[in-house]
Amino acid sequence: MRYATRMLVGLLLVLLVACAGSRPPEWAMGPSVRYPSEVYLTGVGVASERARAEDRARAEIAKILQVQIRSRDASTESQWLSRVGDMASGEYRQSVQADLIATTDKLLEGVRIAEIWQDKKSGEYYALAMLDRLRAARALREELDDIDQSVTGQVRLAETEPSVLRRLGRYLQALAALERRGDIAADLRIVDPAGWVVEPPYRLAEISDRADREAASIRIGVELTEDQQGIVEGALIHALAGLGMQLAPAAERDLLVRGSVDVESFAASEPWQWAIASAQVEFVTADGTVLDALRTSVKEGSQMATRADTLAREHLGERLAVLVLERLGSLGAAKK
């Protein structure tokens, strides 16, 4: 009799375990008291393979942050630089987007897979990814502190810098850092339920105004050979004028863009005509120092060969304006 009782109890235990194993855990069905939302960011992934389920779970957390990335407007430096033209603005915003994604990827390094459950009937795996809010917030606050120190340092250097080109470079570096700061602060507000973020050492508008004043005092010259009807030069000057820079005679220039233009035309398929406009240029300061020497090109198409040529030259000028600003910005990153 005792043997039969033990067998019955054992059978019941097996059935209970089997039933328990077939039940999905609480976290697979929705919010779980084991992983409260005020402590963790969580994501659940489902797939026929365990590794894929884990990847999908991590992706769910990434979506929480990337939705914020897509909803952010690039302000500060990207707005300031967008004045050089639509094409240049698009190129710059692509680089800004890449920086935002990189910021999110770094934050996702703290994500770990907390639990795995497999549905015995379907064979599918359920994975729970988890990001500790407190730990992630601590790392983001440390990064904000580093950025604030960098911004303060760049502004102080700008205030004592005798060269107008280097002053603008310092302020561009400060603007770039403040833009990254805004992205990190947005992530921090998502990660930290309290949503508290320390104020930056300088307001965006203040540094942007300082950059405007420095740009307005820069006198620039352009000397391009083989520039048909001065189209490239005109587009370059127009783009830089949007930042307040002025065209000046040789004796008064702070910066000279010097080089040559080449345009290659071809027909790939009717009725489209294509033109590739290239420029070999160097950026030279008033004392004769060559800041940079480079070659760049753009490709444009139209049903009219003359229109393709003009578009390519115009956009080449805008592209050169972006490169001028990038080089000036790098001056702010250089040591004195």
Question: For the whole model, what pTM was predicted?
Answer: 0.73
Helix and strand tally (H, E) in the chain?
A: 10, 8
pLDDT at 266: 86
Token pair, residue 103, equals 């910021």
Residues 6+ apart with CB under 8 A from 73: none
Residue 156 CB partners (closer than 8 Å, separation 6+): none
pLDDT tens over the chain, length 336 residues = 455 554 444 444 433 344 444 688 999 988 889 999 899 999 999 999 999 999 999 988 888 775 544 444 444 455 666 666 554 445 444 454 555 555 556 667 788 999 999 999 999 999 999 999 998 899 889 989 999 999 999 999 999 999 999 999 999 999 989 988 988 888 888 888 787 899 999 998 899 999 999 999 999 999 999 998 999 999 999 888 888 888 899 889 999 999 999 999 988 777 889 999 999 999 999 889 898 899 999 999 998 989 999 999 999 998 998 888 888 888 777 654
159 half-sphere exposure, CB direction, 13 A CA radius: 7
What is the spatial distance between Cα 27 and Cα 55, in angstroms, rounded to a whole number? 17
Cβ-based neighbour number of residue 199 at 10 Å: 8
* Overall size of the chain counted in residues: 336
The pLDDT of residue 76 is: 46
CB 42 within 8 A of CB 111: no
Give pLDDT, residue 5: 52
Q: Is 133 helix (H, G, I), strand (E, B) or coil?
A: helix
Q: Which two tokens stand for residue 281?
A: 């240029």
* Consecutive H or E run containing 40: strand 40-47
pLDDT at 207: 93
111 to 94, 100, 193: CA distances (angstroms):
26, 18, 17
Which residue type sits at 20?
A
Whole-number pLDDT of residue 183: 81
Dihedrals phi, psi of 147, to nearest 5 degrees: -65, -40
Q: Are 305 and 273 in contact (CB under 8 A)?
A: yes
Report the pLDDT value the prediction gives residue 108, as an integer from 0 to 100. 73
CATH number of 218-333: 3.30.160.150
CA proximity to 78, closest of 65, 90, 64:
90
Q: Which residue has the tokens 């005109």?
A: 234
